[in-house]
Amino acid sequence: MDRSLFSLPEGSVGVVRAVGLERDARRRLMDLGFTAGARVTSLFSAPAGDPRAYMVRGAVIALRRQDAAAVTVAGV
């Protein structure tokens, strides 16, 4: 079942299906490793809930809600 990266529960793993952002923002996320087929683990969120930390391709990346919501993942 596909869902947004932001809705992936902490500790869960997903596989990136698509990045639904426009040009520069999309390229930035893809440069960070959010490409189709990449495994992403939702690690933890800030005390206020935003941003959240994700592990992708061995790196820990913090994304704001609006950016993470634009990434579509499938649960593993």
Chain-wide mean pLDDT for the chain?
Answer: 94
What pLDDT is recorded for position 59? 96
Report the pLDDT value the prediction gives residue 20, as an integer from 0 to 100: 93
pLDDT, tens digit, 9 for 90 and up, residues 45-61: 999 889 999 999 999 99
pTM higher than 0.85 for the full model? Answer: yes
Compute how many other C-beta atoms are within 10 angstroms of the C-beta atom of residue 12. 14
Which letter, b or e, does each residue of 45-75 get, where b requires 16 or more Cβ atoms within 10 Å of its Cβ?
beeeeebbebebeeeebebeeebbbbbbbee
Q: What pLDDT, on a 0 to 100 scale, did the predictor assign at position 49?
A: 82
What domains does the chain contain, in order, with CATH numbers? 2-75 (2.30.30.90)
